């Protein structure tokens, strides 16, 4: 199996707190993998560790055959990792168009991807001149995903895409993520198990900073005991 991202027993600290105490992931190319676990288990920290925003103290991260731990974040991202953070982190003072343009890595990225992006999110085209601050939660989520698509990213890290969105909008976002998985590998952090189970092929459960279970989502869905033990309610 072709592995695009390999995280090997990574340890990450935030200040003095030992947050990740051995997380390992092996992400197959072209797949959607969901990171599951309770609040505070270390899912978001795992994404930030991969991106180098929280550099790991121990362990190894290999992306596209190259060791990336210890590199600076911008360097890691520029190798083809797109990040859609929790709470979207839209640039509020920038217009929708500027929010997309800033993600260019090569001149003309935005011009090339425009049709694809607005095909996926027709709403954004209409809002192009508006400042990011004026967008609704769902629109911001679409913009955050669109922003990760401007550059050529082979891996997308998406944190809590359904958080705080109305059910109808969640459907839209899910459809978009499915569409994206045709061209990119996706690692998803998702609290909403229903959403995660419908999207992902693989899962990894993180519990108290350790990756404790992984496997096929189809199997997890049948395994009520595991769901109950690690994720609380099903």
Partner 1 sequence: MDNFKVTLRKNLVLYLTLGVLVSLLIAAAQGMESKDFVITFLRGLAVGSLTFLVASGFSLIFGLMHVLNLAHGTLYMIGAYIAWTVFVRPDTFVDLLTPLALLLSGFTLQGVWAFVAARIRLSGAMGRILPWGGMALSLVILFMTLARYPIAVWDVEVFAQSPGTYAFMADQGTRLVPEAAVFEGLSPALAVIGLLAGSLLAAFSMVWLAHPPTAPQQLTWRHFAPFAVLSLVGILALIFNEPLTAWLVGLNTNWLFLVSVVVAVLAGMGLGGLMEVTLIRPLYVRHIYQIMLTLGMSVIGVEIVRAVWGRPEFIMPKPALFTGSGPGCPATTLAAWWQLNCATILVLGGRVRVYNEIFIPLVGLVVLVAVWLLLKRSRLGMIIRAGVQDSEMVEALGINVRQVFTLVFALGVGLAALGGALAAPSLGLSYHMGESVMLNALVALAIGGLTSYPGAALGSVIVGLIQQFMIKYGQIGIAIPFTEIVFKPTPPIVPASTIFLMVIILLLLPNGLLGKKE
Which parts of this chain interact with partner 1 (CB under 8 A)? Answer: 51, 53, 70-75, 77-78, 83, 85, 89, 91-94, 98, 101-103, 105, 147, 151
Cβ of residue 176: shortest distance to partner 1, in angstroms?
19
Burial (CB count <10 Å: 0-12, 13-18, 19+), residue 225: exposed
DSSP label at residue 184: S
Judge whether 11 and 22 are in contact, CB under 8 Å: yes
74 vs 234 by CB, closer to partner 1: 74
112 vs 228 by CB, closer to partner 1: 112
Cβ of residue 54: shortest distance to partner 1, in angstroms?
10
20 vs 217 by CB, closer to partner 1: 20
Cβ of residue 159: shortest distance to partner 1, in angstroms?
11
Contacts of 9 (CB under 8 A, 6+ apart): 22, 23, 24, 58, 59, 60
Closest to 189 in 3D by CA, of 73, 86, 100: 86
Cβ of residue 221: shortest distance to partner 1, in angstroms?
32
28 vs 55 by CB, closer to partner 1: 55
15 vs 167 by CB, closer to partner 1: 15
Cβ of residue 103: shortest distance to partner 1, in angstroms?
5
Given CA atoms 28, 31, 36, 39 in this order, what sign does their dihedral have?
positive
93 vs 171 by CB, closer to partner 1: 93
Judge whether 52 and 76 are in contact, CB under 8 Å: yes
CA 140 to chain centre: 15
Cβ of residue 205: shortest distance to partner 1, in angstroms?
25
Rounded to whole angstroms, the Cα distance separating 127 from 98 reads 12
């Amino acid at each position: 199996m072709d592995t695009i991202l390999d995280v090997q027993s990574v340890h990450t600290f935030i200040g003095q707190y030992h947050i990740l105490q051995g997380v390992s992931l092996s992400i197959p190319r072209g797949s959607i993998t969901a990171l599951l676990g309770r609040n505070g288990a270390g899912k978001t920290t795992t994404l930030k560790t991969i991106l180098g925003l929280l550099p790991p103290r121990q362990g190894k991260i290999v992306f596209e055959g190259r060791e990336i731990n210890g590199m600076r974040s911008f360097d890691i991202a520029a190798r083809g990792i797109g990040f859609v953070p929790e709470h979207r982190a839209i640039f509020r003072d920038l217009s929708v168009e500027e929010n997309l343009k800033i993600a260019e890595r090569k001149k003309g990225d935005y011009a090339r991807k425009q049709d694809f992006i607005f095909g996926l999110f027709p709403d954004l085209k209409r809002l192009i001149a508006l400042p990011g601050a004026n967008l609704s939660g769902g629109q911001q989520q679409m913009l955050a995903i669109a922003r990760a698509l401007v550059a050529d990213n082979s891996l997308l890290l998406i944190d809590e895409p359904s958080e705080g969105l109305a059910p109808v909008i969640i459907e839209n976002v899910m459809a978009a993520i499915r569409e994206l998985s045709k061209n990119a590998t996706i690692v998803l952090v998702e609290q909403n198990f229903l959403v995660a189970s419908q999207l992902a092929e693989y899962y990894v459960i993180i519990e108290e900073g350790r990756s404790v279970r992984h496997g096929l989502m189809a199997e997890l869905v049948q395994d009520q005991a595991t769901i109950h033990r690690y994720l609380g309610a099903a």
